[in-house]
Amino acid sequence: MSTAQTAFLKGHGTENDFVILPDHDGLMELSPAAVARLCDRRAGIGADGVLRVVRSAAHPEARAMADEAEWFMDYRNSDGSIAEMCGNGVRVFARYLQRAGLVQEGDVAVATRAGVRRVHIAKAGPDGTPGAVTVAMGRAALPGGDVTVAVGPRSWPARNVNMGNPHAVLFVDDLADAGNLYDAPEVAPAAAYPDGTNVEFVADRGPRHVAMRVHERGSGETRSCGTGACAVMVATARRDGLDPAVVGHPVTYTVDVPGGRLVIGELPDGTVEMTGPAVIVAEGRFDTAWLTAS
């Protein structure tokens, strides 16, 4: 007796890893429990999140964007919750589209819950190494207000930055100050983040060069967070007095994450661009019945 199979791929961007589910016609029912099962690192495939690949015209949340972007990134955190955006995820999503022959090197538009994101896939290197992927992440919003992040008895002031999803960015002398980050740091006031937030701990490494650790809302500590790196760049530039709209030229920072390195730039019009690697490491199939079993 044959068993129904579901195709998947596995990819990562600076070790922020994802299960990719091609569902071009939007026929898959994907419950929070099913996402958590896929992302389980012991009993499942293992990932920080799931990228479901759907034609924008086939998804009710993306139909209004179908004229601008053919493909919609339906992103879920590893606990099954829905997220507005994932910067590393967008790069990996674009790499999948390229691998599947759905797009070519060059400019690609991707629909997300935070709006359409413009992506550029660079040409492969002479040795065939896939080119880096650059994502126009949109403009950062800076809601303002006093925010505090606490780990145990210690606390720090933080900057509220929104990159289509919420972030609390704080500066520390040593990234070890963040503790184990298994549990979400305490963020106050709660009203600043009614739907929870990602929290980035940042330490200086040199001129326009920082390193970060992140607790991602719904996933815990991850090896990288693309929107988090963008939020860190914006917060650091403001701390350093380098608002591109004021200085009149683009400002770029290197942001080291545990899983690698990202280059984040902000243009005078406020657009934030992120450049980094995107790698597909495996593809295969799993038993469809396993995903929905109680």
Q: Residue 214 in contact with residue 255, Cβ under 8 Å? A: no
**Is residue 77 a known part of a binding site?**
yes
- Long-range CB contacts for residues 188-193, cutoff 8 Å, separation at least 24: 188/147, 188/148, 188/150, 189/147, 192/143, 192/145, 192/147, 192/160, 192/168, 193/160, 193/166, 193/168
**Residue 143 to residues 77, 172, 249, 263: CA-CA distances in angstroms?**
24, 22, 23, 24
CB burial of residue 201 (10 Å; 0-12, 13-18, 19+): buried
Catalytic site residue from 225, 255, 274, 280: 225
Catalytic: which of 86, 119, 149, 291?
86
* Residue 227 marked ligand-binding: yes
To the query of whether residue 225 is one of the catalytic residues in this protein, the response is: yes
Whole-angstrom Cα distance, residue 63 to residue 101?
A: 22
Q: At what angle do helices 87-99 and 226-239 cross, to 10 degrees?
A: 140
Task: Count other Cβ atoms within 10 Å, centred on residue 104.
Answer: 10
- 72 is written with which tokens? 């919609």
d(CA 2, CA 70): 34
Residue 10: which H helix or E strand, with range?
strand 5-13
Q: According to the annotation, is 162 in a ligand binding site?
A: no
Q: Any known ligand binding at 266?
A: no
Annotated catalytic, 39?
no
Would you report the helix, strand and coil content of the chain in percent, each value rounded to 5?
20, 45, 40
Between strands 71-77 and 106-112, the pairing is parallel
139 exposed, middle or buried (CB, 10 Å; 0-12, 13-18, 19+)? middle
16 is in an annotated binding site: yes
Does a cis peptide bond (omega within 30 degrees of 0) precede residue 22?
A: no
197 is in an annotated binding site: no
**Would you please indicate which residues are annotated as catalytic (active-site) residues?**
86, 225
List binding-site positions: 16, 77, 87-88, 165, 198, 216-217, 226-227
List binding-site positions for substrate: 16, 77, 87-88, 165, 198, 216-217, 226-227
